[in-house]
Amino acid sequence: MNRKNIPEIRTVEKLNLIHPEKMQLSNGIPLVVIDAGTEPVCRIDFVFEAGSRYQDKLFQASLTNQMIPEGIPGLTGGEIAEQFEFYGSFFNVSADRDEADLTIHTLEKYLEPVLVLTRKVLLEAIFPEEELEIIKANRIQSMKVDEQRVESQARKHFNQAAFGASHPYGVIGEAVDVSLIRSQDLSDFHRTAYGPRNCRILATGPNRATYIPLLEKFFGSGWDEAGNQGGLAFSDVPPVNPVGKREIRVPMDSAVQTAFRIGCPLFGRKHPDFQDLTIANTILGGYFGSRLMSNIRENKGYTYGISSHVAALRDTGFFVIGTTVGADVWEDAIVECNREMTMLGEQTIPESELIRVKNYLIGQLQRSIDGPFQLADQYRPLWMNNLDFKYLSDFMLRVNHITSAEIRILSRKYFQPEFMITVAAGPIES
């Protein structure tokens, strides 16, 4: 190798992906194994259709998920945590609008005792009232602090405006709703939502021969007999019902800045325009060198940061621009955002800018699959939408072959200011 010569720069045309192996446990639970990695460490994801869209009471889903590791017969939450730590393992829970997850990371040699403990935590959670009151008090305090933030108010009111005040994706929960939750509410939701018929399991690591028999042993049978029947009568989420008002102001007299959101409801990953729109959004506000950053931050100095997103949910999605600016320039900043959207649909993108964005996206895509657990992070949302890694390969193709003309047409179709809902929160008049 002659180190005096600069290496040739080559375009990455395709992804070399490890294809997951799909199977089922004896009780019908879908299992996917990503056989990847070199270190003797594995990750097991238990994914349930138990997000907030399925709850009967506000905060029922998130509090159920949070409380699962807080107590089982004979063990307190602290003792459960100590047992996981004894094996050098990590146990995490999370919940969003659509799914609720329980994830464990552990050394392979301790997988069996860790799965024994995980089964007990998952199936035998008792939701102790004393622990629940502590968690509720913390949640309420956090909400009170959050209510004073202009960013939170802009986000909540945008979701409500975009989806509808009664829609599962748009409803705004208040502190009083947290206080109304009781331990029995969590037990009821756990009994119906955390059963085998609502569960998927994703196992990631270098030794599939170890994972499959152990998962079959502890989760492939005996689950129904433990009392978790599962099988919520999940219906499709209701149609999006955005408010008729396109401009919403949320007065916050004590604030010193103004946060705003500009956007509209759109569609999910399966829509034929989703991938191309993701590329167009990157140009608009999806990375640090985007047009919004260049204009609003670098040229105008209105903010430290601004971004835009094309977000996918299970049945729908949305587009949104978000930032926080000085209270005296928020209207000017909104004008500039609308101008950038309009320009993207009217003017052809310079080839140099398109190449820069393509290189950025290709690099980001390669980094996002660099390692077994990163592969799992990419696969899980695809799997929940009945997609697979072909989706990522198709996206790489679109990044490489999309043209300036296609981006202009797509932007003109979706990034139109007259389609947008604008929400501003701060020291402004209602």
Question: Do residues 291 and 344 lie in contact, with contact meaning Cβ atoms separated by under 8 Å?
Answer: yes
What one-character-per-residue DSSP string does 182-247 give?
Answer: -HHHHHHHHHHHSSGGGEEEEEEES-HHHHHHHHHHHHSSSTGGGT--------PPPPP---S-SE
CA 331/CA 203 separation, integer angstroms:
49
CA 293 to CA 276: how far, in whole Å? 21
Residue 19: which pLDDT band, with cuts at 50, 70 and 90?
confident
Give yes or no for a contact between 372 and 36, defined as CB atoms under 8 angstroms apart.
yes
Place of tokens 């107590």: 71
pLDDT at 269 over 90: yes
pLDDT band of 349, cuts 50, 70, 90: very high
Percent of the chain with pLDDT over 90: 87
**333 and 300 in contact (C-beta within 8 Å)?**
yes
Residues present in the chain in total: 430
Both tokens assigned to 252: 């916050």
Task: Identify whether 15 is part of a domain.
Answer: no
Asked whether residue 111 is assigned to any structural domain, the reply reads: yes
Whether 111 and 206 share a structural domain: yes
Same domain? 160 vs 265: no
Question: What phi-psi label fits residue 403: left (phi over 0), alpha (psi between -120 and 50 degrees) or beta?
Answer: beta
- Residue 38 falls inside a structural domain: yes
- Per-residue pLDDT at 53: 92
187 and 119 together in one domain? yes
d(CA 72, CA 123): 9
Q: What's the number of domains the chain is made of?
A: 2
Task: Place 239 in a pLDDT band, splitting at 50, 70 and 90.
Answer: confident
Query: What is the secondary structure of 63-90 as a DSSP string?
Result: HHHHHGGGEETTEEHHHHHHHHHHTT-E
How far apart CA 316 and CA 162 sit, in angstroms, is: 11
Q: Which of 101, 125, 134, 139 has the alpha carbon at shortest distance from 186?
A: 125
Q: Is residue 206 part of a domain?
A: yes
d(CA 242, CA 155): 15
Give the integer Cα–Cα distance in Å for 168 and 175.
Answer: 17
Per mean pLDDT, which range of 6-10, 60-64, 303-307, 327-331 is the poorest? 6-10
Q: Are residues 216 and 271 in the same domain?
A: no
User: Is 347 part of any domain?
Assistant: yes
Do residue 164 and residue 292 come from a single domain? no
Packing angle, helices 129-146 and 183-193, rounded to 10? 100
Phi, then psi, of 35 in degrees rounded to 5:
-85, 90
Give 228's pLDDT tier (boundaries 50, 70, 90).
low
pLDDT of residue 257: 96
Residues 170 and 284 in one domain: no
In-domain check, residue 399: yes
| Same-domain check for residues 283 and 338 | yes
Q: How many CA atoms lie within 13 A of 101 on its CB side?
A: 17
Looking at residue 162, its pLDDT comes to: 94
Same structural domain, 200 and 257: no
CA atoms of 427 and 132, how far apart (whole Å) = 36
d(CA 291, CA 294): 5
Residue 7: pLDDT band (50, 70, 90) is: confident
pLDDT > 80? residue 218: yes
- For residue 98, pLDDT over 90 is answered with yes
- Strands 247-251 and 421-426 come out as parallel
Q: Are residues 188 and 254 in the same domain?
A: no
- What confidence category does residue 245 fall into, taking pLDDT thresholds of 50, 70 and 90? confident
Domain harbouring 203, CATH code = 3.30.830.10
Asked if residue 192 lies in contact with residue 224, where contact means CB atoms within 8 angstroms, the answer is: no
Domain that holds residue 295: 247-426
Q: Are residues 188 and 275 in the same domain?
A: no
**pLDDT mean across residues, the chain:** 93
Between CA 49 and CA 67 the distance in angstroms is 17
Enclosing H/E stretch for 351: helix 351-368
- Asked whether residue 219 falls in the same domain as residue 268, the answer is no
pLDDT of residue 240: 78
Whether 357 is in a domain gets the answer yes
In a domain, 345, yes or no: yes
Least confident of 189-193, 231-235, 249-253, 404-408: 231-235
Residues 170 and 42 in one domain: yes
pLDDT band at residue 225, thresholds of 50, 70 and 90?
A: low
Q: So what's the pLDDT on residue 4? A: 87
pLDDT (0 to 100) of residue 430:
59
